Structure 1
Amino acid sequence: MCGRFDLSRSAEEVLQTFRALGEVPWGERYNIAPGQDIACVIVDVGGERRLVAAHWGFRPRFAAGREGAPAPINARAEKVAESGYFRDAFARRRALVPADGWYEWRPEAGGKRPYRFRHRAGSVLGLAAIWTPADDVASGRRLAIITEPARGVAREVHPRMPVVLDPACWAAWLDPARQDREAIRSAVQALPAAALEAYPVSRRVGNPRNDDPGLVAAEGEALAPGDDA
């Protein structure tokens, strides 16, 4: 799954990297958690890429009035195109979530240890996501991050990971004219797993009230690189 990530680089750099427009209230965030508003890149009705805010927790409009309707933070890549909850958003409203890295927990002696994943070159990551209009949150949007079976070094920590898209296919992923699920899948590819690294960080990241640069500091050696499967 993907239940925690960080993004501390400037809005200007994110806008430039994703070739997007927009003004999102910004600040360094080292511990972004479900239920919060997060930045995402979408294509607006005029065909422009925009950096906007969305509530992290997806609920389609048809379920908005249902008592106890789930608001999942993740959607499985294997099922997102067919699921009645997600398929319309997958076809029509795809997004990219900018991230400097994400956190995942691995069972170890003494309790679960959080690890931070990031690009080896320090580049910003584009996490595949879907979104839906929403009247019940201030941002007017709800979002879920898409996950896939873990690859490479991520398999050493958790069975799943976010879908981190190769920048070369960001445009194809965001293109709202591309709606056939097989056409979407054939046009995009994940970032090679060898481009990612993981290292242990402070257990303080487990509390979303903690949000400071110390959370991304390494507290041990990086994991050995995995294969690129």
Structure 2
Amino acid sequence: MCGRYTIQTTIEELMTMFDLDRVGDIHLTPNYNVAPTHSVPAIINEGGERLLAQFHWGLIPFWAKNKKIGFKMINARAETVASKPAYKGLIKRRRAVIPADGFYEWMATEDGKQPYRFVMKSGDSFGFAGLWDEWDGPDGPLRSCTIITTKPNKLVEDVHDRMPVILPSKALNVWLDPEEDDAEKLQELLVPYDADKMRRYPVSKNVGSVKNTGASLIEEVPLNSK
């Protein structure tokens, strides 16, 4: 799964990196411990333009009776995203890219679960493949998203049996193309990212609590460190 990630990238950097056309009403500050239910930046194609907007992390389908369902829909599996009722319509018409610069996974050890941060060797930010929907809630329309996961690459596999789908630039352009609605073709993009372009390092177990948000969370620590 993907349950925590980081983003320090500025709006200006995202505009250049993802060739954005518009930025919605969004306030973006560094977040070193992004967690489900947080408001997160995501990129969608709206009216033929790439829009950066704010989304609730945890998909709330338009047909949901209340927003609690979002707790169970922070991730969607790549293998079934084109067939599950909650997602098969979205993959054709409501795809999103969620910007990030790292993500966390936990390895089970004799000393408890040890968190690792996974990043690009280049230090660049990247985009997760996601889906979004809009729910008409009691306080008005709410846009929400889910991050798609796939099987792990060689770097992740001994830590966790899933990893988020990271889209290389060519796949990202196809994913955000509003003219593309071939679910099978789109599903073929949802594969593990090249492990040779990534690295991982251990971080403080403090990242396990959503109450902890400081920049120290992304610092490398010695193994077995608290």
Which TM-score applies when normalising by structure 2?
0.91
**One-letter amino acid of the structure 2 residue matched with residue 220 of structure 1:** P
Distance in 2 of aligned mates of 1:51 and 1:88: 22
**Residue 33 (structure 2) pairs with residue 31 (structure 1):** yes
Matches within 5 A, 1:186-201: 186=188, 191-201=193-203
Tell whether the 8 Å contact from 1:56 to 1:144 is kept in structure 2 after alignment: yes
Q: Which residue of 2 aligns with 1:104?
A: 105
Write out per-residue CA displacement over residues 5-57 of structure 1, whole angstroms, 9 at most, x where no aligned residue.
0001211101110111204201111000001110001000x200011111011
Q: Which residue of 2 aligns with 1:116?
A: 117
1:99/1:187 Cα in 2 relative to 1: closer, same or farther (>3 Å)?
A: closer
Write out per-residue CA displacement over residues 57-87 of structure 1, whole angstroms, 9 at most, x where no aligned residue.
112112x126964641000000001000111
**Residue 166 (structure 2) pairs with residue 164 (structure 1):** yes
Corresponding residue SS for 2:48: coil
Corresponding residue SS for 1:156: coil
Corresponding residue SS for 2:89: helix
1:68/1:123 Cα in 2 relative to 1: closer, same or farther (>3 Å)?
A: closer
- Aligned with 2:182 (options 180, 183, 186): 180
Matches within 5 A, 1:25-174: 25-44=27-46, 46-62=47-63, 64-65=64-65, 69=69, 71-136=72-137, 140-174=142-176
Tell whether the 8 Å contact from 1:105 to 1:157 is kept in structure 2 after alignment: yes
Question: How far off its partner does 1:183 sit?
Answer: 2.5
**One-letter amino acid of the structure 2 residue matched with residue 111 of structure 1:** G
Tell whether the 8 Å contact from 1:55 to 1:139 is kept in structure 2 after alignment: no
Distance in 1 of aligned mates of 2:27 and 2:181: 31
Write out per-residue CA displacement over residues 154-208 of structure 1, whole angstroms, 9 at most, x where no aligned residue.
1121000000111122110011221121232356765312111111000010111
Tell whether the 8 Å contact from 1:5 to 1:31 is kept in structure 2 after alignment: yes
Distance in 2 of aligned mates of 1:69 and 1:5: 21
Tell whether the 8 Å contact from 1:172 to 1:188 is kept in structure 2 after alignment: no
Distance in 1 of aligned mates of 2:51 and 2:23: 5
Distance in 2 of aligned mates of 1:35 and 1:138: 17
**Residue 216 (structure 2) pairs with residue 218 (structure 1):** no
User: Where do 5+ consecutive residues of structure 2 fail to align?
Assistant: none
Distance in 2 of aligned mates of 1:28 and 1:122: 15
**One-letter amino acid of the structure 2 residue matched with residue 77 of structure 1:** A
Question: How far off its partner does 1:140 sit?
Answer: 2.3
Distance in 2 of aligned mates of 1:10 and 1:59: 27
1:188/1:86 Cα in 2 relative to 1: closer, same or farther (>3 Å)?
A: closer
Distance in 2 of aligned mates of 1:125 and 1:76: 19
1:80/1:201 Cα in 2 relative to 1: closer, same or farther (>3 Å)?
A: same
Tell whether the 8 Å contact from 2:151 to 2:191 is kept in structure 1 after alignment: no
Tell whether the 8 Å contact from 1:205 to 1:215 is kept in structure 2 after alignment: yes
RMSD: 1.9
Tell whether the 8 Å contact from 1:41 to 1:96 is kept in structure 2 after alignment: yes
Question: How far off its partner does 1:220 sit?
Answer: 3.2
Distance in 2 of aligned mates of 1:29 and 1:163: 20
Please, which moves more after superposition, 174-183 or 48-57?
A: 174-183
Distance in 1 of aligned mates of 2:222 and 2:67: 45
Tell whether the 8 Å contact from 2:93 to 2:181 is kept in structure 1 after alignment: yes
